[in-house]
Amino acid sequence: MSLQISLIQTDLHWEDKAANRAMLEQKIESIPHTQVVVLPEMFSTGFSMQPALLAETMEGPTVQWMKEVATKNKIILTGSLIIKEADAYYNRLIWMLPNGQYGTYDKRHLFAFANEDAQYTPGNKRLITSVNGWKLHMQVCYDLRFPVWARQSPPKDEDARETEYDVLVNVANWPQRRSLAWKTLLQARAIENQCFVVGVNRVGTDGKGIYHSGDSMVIDPLGEILYHKTDEEDIFTITLHKTKLDEVRTKFPFLRDADGFGIY
């Protein structure tokens, strides 16, 4: 059983939703064949702290664009954008299926260092979705620093392969000056949760003068780096194999010895 995932590491047009949609659509349509396409955090605007100016509703043009692109290209499309709901703003990841149905995840850990917590409302529910027999746990950027939010619960029986998820996906606008933490934490999450990890970050300088080196990565359950790209825009498709995952979890059934816990 395999899963094809495409990572789009790209520069973003600062706070220009139409330009980003057009640019990303062209990149998506250049991918010959894939199942899942992953875009960076706040892919339509960059990491902006102006939600009152830039937010859309779930019926707005960017969500509609995601539906159209997913349907046209027969893919699952995911990334986060600024959403307004009632009187609150969210940094919301959307998992858009080709039939127009979708799941959502509101970023749990808001980056107070940049005043994200003053502008946005945190989520309180994880999103673990599935495709082709794979379970994927979706996260946004700063969530990566908090291991409990990603931690696998111990298997309920002796089969160490039966875990909560198989792939951890993190979409980000992670600055280059903290890239060592980004790279280290991605590997740590893969090792401690015995899962594949896909981290998709942007490149380029944003509207606040902050440079992003990308460093998008795919990491296997033993922490080995399968893909890594620094500084350049890139579109990369990788095929993940369930046999590799099952082999690691069977040979090294470490998760059976994990501490039981609950998230409230």
Residues designated catalytic: 41, 107, 141
Distant-in-sequence, close-in-space partners of 240: CB < 8 Å, separation ≥ 6: 2, 3, 4, 5, 134, 167, 196, 218
**DSSP run (H or E) holding 77:** strand 76-85
Unique residue bearing structure tokens 């280059």: 176
| CB-CB contact of 230 with 199 (8 Å) | no
How big is the chain by its Cα radius of gyration, in Å? 17
Q: Measured between alpha carbons, how far is 78 from 61 in angstroms, rounded to an integer?
A: 15
Distances 222 to 153, 190, 247, 248 between C-alpha atoms, Å: 18, 7, 11, 7
Q: What does the alpha-carbon distance between residue 85 and residue 71 come to, in Å, rounded to a whole number?
A: 25
